[in-house]
Amino acid sequence: MIELLAQTCLNAVYAASYISLVAVGLVLIFGVMGVINFAHGELFMAGAYAVVTFYADLHLPFLVAVALGLVFVGCLGLLMERALFRPLRDNPLGGLVASIGFLMILQALAVLGYGVRMEHIPPVTQEVIVFSDKVRLPLSRLFVIIAAVVLLGALWYFLKRTKFGWALRASAQDPEAAELQGISINQTARIAMFIGAGLAGIAGALTAPLVSVNPHMGHSVIVTAFIVIIVGGVGSLEGAVLASVVYAVVHTFVTTFYDGVIADIVGLSLMLLVLIVKPTGLFGSADRA
Amino acid sequence: MLLELKGVSAAYGKITAIRDISMTVDQGQIVTIIGGNGAGKTTTLRAMSGMLPVTAGEITFEGKRIDGLPASKVVAHGIAHVPEGRRIFPDMTVEENLRTGAFLRKDMDAIATDLATVYRKFPRLQERRGQRAQTLSGGEQQMLAIGRALMSKPRLLLMDEPSMGLAPVIVDEIAEIIREINQQQGLAVVLVEQNAELALELADHAYVLETGNCNLNGPASELHENDHVRAAYLGI
Ligand SMILES: Nc1ncnc2c1ncn2[C@@H]1O[C@H](COP(=O)(O)OP(=O)(O)OP(=O)(O)O)[C@@H](O)[C@H]1O
Ligand SMILES: [Mg+2]
């Protein structure tokens, strides 16, 4: 029993890792751009297909493929900023609607390019860290955990300790006042979109060998990310990370001890409960990016 | 001449808020714009700092045209704007707010010196340097907004109702600070105020705005004795 608990905890840490990468990017984009990016799940999907292309098809080293995925999806973010969100900045629902359109385009492109089948990606490593007979952590999952800790740590450092990080937070909190300090909102929007999209892309790229890659895989990712950012408090990065952990623990344990469908229901109920008890989320709206 | 507005108009959508405004600010001067609610004082400052495009006229600063530039470029020319309602960054610390004021500057050593100067001027900000700005009192927030503007090393400071919502003691303190900044650093100031008594006392020159038009201006001491100004703005 202890072993099963330990194993489930490891699984939860892994799930929390990639969920928080996706959710933090979504919150960052919302904070700086004021846009709920519905295409965020498809950016995750695009990262996974980068690994299909560069690693499985072109046989580049896995880490190179992941890095290319990060850059490629980051650039997709830049494209969205320039082509969709900037022209629609004064339209409160414009960005959201445009991002739904972009989601469909990305899905259609994935179907066109790769078909609707599930992609087979050769495992990156078969190595497993064996803690005991029943407690094991595949190395490829450890990669995801390490990447999440390093990337989120780097993002925290960037936002709290660097001038451009302050600029990003300033334009999230008061875009006009930020402009008065010489901060161009076009520039902060580009930075936020590159980072936000890039984080989704790298999460998709790192988990590609561990999940089933298909053109519709973004759907469950975005639903999870929405639950997480609502539970954490829309606009709070710390909240998104914390809520990712809470959600991953609950979801993983329910999946292990009951089944996946019940786990999804429990996840959604958790969100409703938070909305009823504390509508601003665990970290409230005071704690913005 | 530091700043000159020639026949400036500005609008929100189709509604013209200020019409054909001309004014000048000289080196080292304090110029005030007084007027009632909705007269167009904030709009005039927003036009100066590039937050609102002008629909007619020209704005020159140190001989260079600055109308048409976005706000983020106007700061680089040496104009800092302390906006109405302070607009500090609520979830950033006092020090992060101040350093963000120096966003465009590259001279790290001089930034450190200027930060020390701001802290000397506002010891209460130094005590609270790691505190989130939204936890400051109204007076402290106003000081932070002024300090943030000073961190850009401006040659002209635009201030929109710095006395708004503050207790009389704090208003006096802020007034003293404005005078000090002007005299010690030779910084020119455009001061927008509802508190006309205070504004006319501080300023060298004054402009009176009424429903978007400016038909009256003169040395502040003269306007203080003007019958219309006394009746309409000084309540005498
Ligand atoms: N964002 C806006 N959209 C539309 N109209 C506006 C906007 N801001 C101001 N106005 C209008 O422009 C005119 C001038 O407003 P402004 O804010 O410049 O006045 P003010 O002199 O600063 O007043 P107050 O002393 O109340 O701050 C007013 O008629 C106001 O209704
Ligand atoms: Mg005003």
- Domain of residue A136 covers 2-217
User: pLDDT (tens digit, 9 = 90+) per residue, A84-96?
Assistant: 999 999 888 999 9
Q: Are A188 and A178 in contact (CB under 8 A)?
A: yes
Select the residue of B89, B104, B152 nearest A169 (Cβ to Cβ): B89
Residue B40 beta carbon below 6 angstroms from any ligand 1 atom: yes
User: pLDDT (tens digit, 9 = 90+) per residue, B34-93?
Assistant: 998 999 999 999 999 999 999 999 999 999 999 999 999 999 999 999 999 999 999 999
Centroid of ligand 1 to alpha carbon of A11 (angstroms): 57
Which residues on chain A are in Cβ contact (under 8 Å) with B96? 166, 169
For residue B27, the distance in angstroms to the closest alpha carbon of chain A comes to 22
Centroid of ligand 2 to alpha carbon of B40 (angstroms): 7
A51 falls within a domain: yes
Based on the structure, what is the number of domains in chain A?
1
pTM of whole model > 0.80?
yes
DSSP characters over A165-208: HHHHHHHHH-HHHHHHTT--HHHHHHHHHHHHHHHHHHHHHHHG
**How do the domains of chain B map onto residue ranges?**
3-93+155-234
For residue B228, the distance in angstroms to the closest alpha carbon of chain A comes to 35
Please choose, from the candidates B150, B214, B186, B220, the residue with its C-alpha nearest in 3D space to the C-alpha of residue B7: B214
The alpha carbon of A122 is separated from its chain's Cα centroid by a whole number of angstroms, namely 23
Cβ–Cβ below 8 Å for A287 and B70: no
Q: What distance, in Å, lies between the first and last C-alpha atoms of chain A?
A: 40
Q: Which residue in chain A has the smallest CA separation from B83? A: A177
A252 falls within a domain: no
Select the residue of A167, A176, A288 nearest B100 (Cβ to Cβ): A167
A160 falls within a domain: yes
User: pLDDT (tens digit, 9 = 90+) per residue, B130-178?
Assistant: 999 999 999 999 999 999 999 999 999 999 999 998 999 999 999 999 9
User: What is the ipTM for the molecules in this complex?
Assistant: 0.94
Environment of ion ligand 2 (residues, CB < 5 A):
B 42, 84
Query: Options 3.40.1050.10, 3.40.190.150, 3.40.50.300, 3.40.309.10; which CATH number does B3-93+155-234 get?
Result: 3.40.50.300
Select the residue of B90, B96, B152 nearest A182 (Cβ to Cβ): B152
User: pLDDT (tens digit, 9 = 90+) per residue, A124-159?
Assistant: 888 999 998 889 999 999 999 999 999 999 999 999
- Locate B104 and state its tokens: 């465009």
A40 falls within a domain: yes
In three-state secondary structure terms, B28 is coil
Q: Are A33 and A85 in contact (CB under 8 A)?
A: yes
Which residues on chain A are in Cβ contact (under 8 Å) with B91? 169, 173, 286-288
Give residue A70's pLDDT band: very low, low, confident or very high (50, 70, 90). Answer: very high
Q: Which ligand is nearest to the CA of B47?
A: 1
Q: Are B30 and B182 in contact (CB under 8 A)?
A: yes
Residue B173: partners with Cβ closer than 8 Å, 6 or more residues away: B139
Does the structure show a pLDDT above 90 at A236?
Answer: no
**Phi, psi for residue A124 in degrees, rounded to 5:** -75, -40
Distance CA(A270)–CA(B174), nearest Å, equals: 50
Inform me whether the C-beta atom of residue A230 falls under 8 Å from chain B C-beta atoms: no
**Sign of torsion, CA A214 A219 A223 A229?**
positive
**Phi, psi for residue A243 in degrees, rounded to 5:** -65, -30
Q: Which residue in chain B has the smallest CA separation from A173? A: B89
Does the structure show a pLDDT above 50 at A287?
Answer: no
Which residues on chain A are in Cβ contact (under 8 Å) with B72? 179-185
Nearest CA to ligand 1 atom 17: B42
Centroid of ligand 1 to alpha carbon of B91 (angstroms): 27
Which residues on chain A are in Cβ contact (under 8 Å) with B90? 173-174
Q: Are B120 and B93 in contact (CB under 8 A)?
A: no
Q: Chain-wide mean pLDDT for chain B?
A: 95
Distance CA(A128)–CA(A136), nearest Å, equals: 6
User: pLDDT (tens digit, 9 = 90+) per residue, A189-225?
Assistant: 999 999 999 999 999 999 999 999 999 999 999 999 9
Nearest CA to ligand 1 atom 6: B12
A240 falls within a domain: no
Angle at the Cα of A237 from the Cα atoms of A233 and A239, rounded to 5 degrees: 45
Residue B194 beta carbon below 6 angstroms from any ligand 1 atom: yes
